[in-house]
Every structure is written in C-alpha cells, then in structure tokens.
C-alpha cells in the first residue's frame, strides 16, 4: 500500500489561510493569544530585567492557573490515599483521580478509561510495554522496528529488551528533511517483526510522522504499534481509535500538566493479556503466600500509591486544552511556525535542521561558526529560553553531522512577538561573535 495522502492543509500554507480557517472553524473571533497568556502565571515575569520569552516548550511547558489550582485544591482539601479509604477525603480523592482518567480518556478518544494507565511519564510508559508485552512476545531473532528520529527514551528500552532476548532492533532511516522513509519501512517490515515503536512527532526536528499509515501497514502483517506521543498531544489532536494504535505514550508535563505524571494508553485486550510490571499494593485483587491474583486493568499496572495530585493536575491540563480546542491550537502554532521558519530562513548563516513538509512547531537550527551552547547563553541574557544540545536524540545529530543544535519549540501561548525577539536575539549572537 502507498502512503496516505496528507491533506493539503498540512503543506506550507500561509498565515492568511490559517486565519481564515480559524474563523471558519469557530465562526467567532480568532484565537486570542494575549488573553490565553494571562492563564499562565509563569509567563508574566522578567529575567535579567527583560520579559521572559519562553521557547523551550518541547522540554516542558508552563502550567495554566487551572492546573496549579487543581493540584493545590487536592493538597488543601482532599489529600488522602485513593481506592482503599472508607472516609470522606479518600472518597473525594478517589473520585478526582478517576475523573482525571476519564478526562484523559476523552482527550485522546480512547474507547474506555480502563485503557488509561497513570505512570510517571512517556518514558515509563514505553519501558512498561518493553518489559511486559515485549518480554512476553519477543524472542530470539525477532525484530523490533523504530525510526532514526527517536528520542533516546524510544531507543534504549528496546535495546534493553533486544539484549535480554537476543532480538534485533531495526531502524527506519530518515531523509535530509528529517522525514520518515516509508518505502524503507515497508522493506523492513517482515514476518520477524514483533513490534513497531514510532514517535508521533520528533522532539529534535518537529517532523510529524504518518503514524496512521505506519500502523495500518503494520496491522496488515499482524504487528502491533506503540506510538510515542510525548511531543504530539500538545500540538495536534490525538485520536487513538482513529489512529488504531495499540499503545500510545503521553507525558503530562509536555501537555501543560505537572511533571512526574503521564499515561500509557493500551488496547484493553492487549493490556489484559500482558503480565503485570511492578508488584505492590493496588495492583492485586488478593494476596496469599501461595498465589496472588492480579487486579483488573488499569490497576494491574498501577502498583503502589500513584501520583494522585499529578493525575488530577493532568486532568485539569487536558480539560484546559480541550476548552481552547486542539484544532485552534494547531492552527495558531502552524501560523507561528510558518512565520518563524521564514524569519529564520532569512537570517544569514542560519540553517534550519528538520524541514519536513508536515511539521509541528519545533525549530532546530544552527548558526555558522557559533556553537549552539553559545547561542543559548547569549539568548538567555536577552530573556529568551531555548534548548541547546543533542535533545536526547544523538542519532539524529549524527545523521545531520552536527554535535548539537539550538532549538526553539513553540507552544500555544507564544506570539509573533516572541519570534521577533528570537530573531533579534540571534542577531545579537552574531554581533557578539563578530
């Protein structure tokens, strides 16, 4: 089968089209970014006497007041343990914790909240699948397919599994734009393939992968697919039923929620067939020294007291995002990305790394003769927070032949003014080095 046609709206369409689309989709006023910024108290500060320009959203996002309030309210009023208590506070905590699961379920359109497992983050979600589904189903000589643009967290868990099972890790290459090479993927997929693990959006390049086609092709061969969504759900609407993915990993702090919380989505029948991962309280239905019976999903995979406040905060975050509308966020960010791409491309000596046609609002770049770390320090002095380094994607850096890049990653609250500040900041960098 061929690659699914990507709707033309994903191609470098202009600002006007995006604005029109916003108007036509909502039928009301366009996305009011200045009002939205007021929801984020951390944005309202100065660094070194200058207004903060926060462009490190792929590392973590700032939190809206609604998230901070939800966490605070739990600790102020409802703090107690979940699922086992007979008292009122435990009942309230349990209800809020389970309500958060339902909110996340709706956010990614899972068919049931029992398919949502609360974990520490996307990294832990991937490790869980590797250590349960992987250990159960991958054997000697079997193969796992990933891509060349994976974050280390979607490489190393599979390497650990392959090492333990004498299995083989296969890597789908990327092209010079940082795009997944679908034809190479078709060649690699074989009867030996036991799992495909692919990032939805590349953290270092911004490339959005054709995951729906990747999944459809894998399913033709009976191979399940894990999607690493750590960099996706904050930028684009995610519908796990439409994607038909078998597993989806999501990180709370990258979707404007708290740190230390994330989820694994898994299809119920798969989760039920998998052995537990960690043992402890809450993941059992009965324990004797002779035989322990495990709890039903999702609790089978939630050993010990979970991050209750974190889950509640994550629930508040996804409700906040749904209130704004992921479609509107996507359009706003696409406008910013187009604006920023043009502005940076016009700067002499600046090279954008990662020029996929279908991209999320992540801009990795280099400046001739100036190391990204120096760029980062000088921009910081201008109040501009970006990331520099290999972005936990060393194979990507090796592919492009750079030791590191500077990365500006945009979020729902960034403005064209932020991009103008970045452009001025890069000019300042060149000035210092001149």
Question: Which residues would be at the binding site for other proteins (CB under 8 A)?
Answer: 48-49, 369-374, 377-378, 381, 388-390, 394, 397, 403-404, 432-433
Tell me whether residue 99 or residue 423 sits nearer to other proteins (CB atom): 423
Beta bridge partners of 370: 367
**How many other C-beta atoms lie within 10 A of the C-beta of residue 137?**
15
Tokens read off for 377:
């320090």
Active site residue: 79, 105, 245, 392, which one?
392
Tell me whether residue 9 or residue 373 sits nearer to other proteins (CB atom): 373
CB of 408 to other proteins, least distance (A): 16
CB 250 within 8 A of CB 229: yes
Q: Three-state DSSP class for 295? A: coil
Tokens read off for 379:
């921009």
CB of 53 to other proteins, least distance (A): 15
Q: What is the DSSP string of 9-55?
A: GGSS--HHHHHHHHHHHHSSPPP-HHHHHTT-GGGS-EETTEE-EE-
CB 282 within 8 A of CB 304: yes
Catalytic residue status for 392: yes
Tell me whether residue 14 or residue 403 sits nearer to other proteins (CB atom): 403
CB of 401 to other proteins, least distance (A): 11
Tell me whether residue 2 or residue 49 sits nearer to other proteins (CB atom): 49
Tokens read off for 194:
């036991």
CB of 434 to other proteins, least distance (A): 9
Distance CA(183)–CA(232), nearest Å, equals 23
Tell me whether residue 311 or residue 404 sits nearer to other proteins (CB atom): 404
Q: Give the list of residues 6+ apart from residue 113 with CB closer than 8 angstroms, or none.
A: 98, 101, 102, 104, 105, 298
Helices H / strands E in the chain, number of each: 16, 17
CB of 353 to other proteins, least distance (A): 14
**How many other C-beta atoms lie within 10 A of the C-beta of residue 120?**
18
Tell me whether residue 50 or residue 220 sits nearer to other proteins (CB atom): 50
CB of 431 to other proteins, least distance (A): 10
Place of tokens 């400046």: 367
**How many other C-beta atoms lie within 10 A of the C-beta of residue 149?**
29
Residues with active-site annotation: 392
């Amino acid at each position: 089968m061929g690659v699914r046609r990507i709707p033309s709206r994903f191609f470098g369409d202009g600002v006007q089209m995006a604005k029109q689309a916003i108007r036509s989709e909502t039928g009301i006023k366009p996305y009011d970014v200045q009002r939205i910024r007021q929801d984020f108290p951390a944005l309202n500060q100065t660094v070194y006497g200058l207004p903060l320009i926060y462009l490190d959203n792929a590392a973590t996002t700032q939190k809206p007041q609604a998230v901070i309030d939800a966490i605070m309210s739990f600790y102020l009023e409802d703090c107690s343990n979940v699922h086992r208590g007979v008292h009122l506070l435990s009942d309230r905590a349990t209800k809020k914790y389970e309500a958060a699961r339902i909110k996340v379920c709706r956010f990614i359109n899972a068919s049931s909240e029992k398919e949502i497992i609360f974990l520490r983050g996307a990294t832990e979600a991937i490790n869980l699948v590797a250590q349960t589904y992987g250990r159960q189903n991958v054997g000697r000589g079997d193969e796992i397919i990933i891509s060349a643009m994976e974050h280390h967290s979607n490489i190393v868990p599979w390497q650990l599994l392959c090492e333990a099972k004498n299995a083989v890790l296969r890597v789908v290459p990327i092209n010079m734009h940082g795009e997944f090479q679908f034809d190479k993927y078709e060649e690699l997929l074989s009867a030996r393939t036991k799992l495909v693990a692919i990032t939805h959006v590349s953290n270092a390049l911004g490339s959005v992968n054709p995951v729906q086609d990747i999944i459809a092709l894998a399913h033709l061969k009976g191979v399940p697919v894990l999607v690493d969504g750590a960099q996706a759900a904050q930028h684009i609407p995610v519908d796990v039923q439409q994607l038909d993915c078998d597993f989806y990993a999501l990180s709370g702090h990258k979707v404007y929620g708290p740190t230390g919380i994330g989820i694994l989505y898994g299809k119920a029948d798969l989760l039920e067939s998998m052995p537990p991962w960690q043992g402890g309280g809450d993941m059992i239905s009965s324990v004797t020294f002779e035989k322990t019976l495990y709890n039903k999903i999702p609790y089978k995979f939630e050993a010990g007291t979970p991050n209750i406040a974190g889950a509640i905060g994550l629930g508040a975050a996804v409700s906040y995002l749904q209130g704004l509308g992921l479609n509107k966020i996507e359009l706003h960010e696409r406008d910013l990305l187009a604006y920023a791409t043009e502005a940076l491309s016009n700067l002499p000596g600046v090279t954008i790394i990662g020029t996929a046609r279908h991209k999320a609002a992540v801009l990795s770049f280099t400046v001739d003769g100036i190391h990204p770390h120096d760029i980062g320090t000088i921009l910081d002095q201008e109040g501009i927070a970006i990331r520099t380094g290999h972005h936990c994607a060393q194979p990507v850096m090796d592919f492009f032949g750079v030791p590191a890049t500077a990365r500006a990653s945009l979020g729902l609250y960034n403005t064209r003014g932020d991009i103008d500040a970045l452009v001025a900041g890069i000019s300042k960098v060149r000035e210092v080095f001149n």
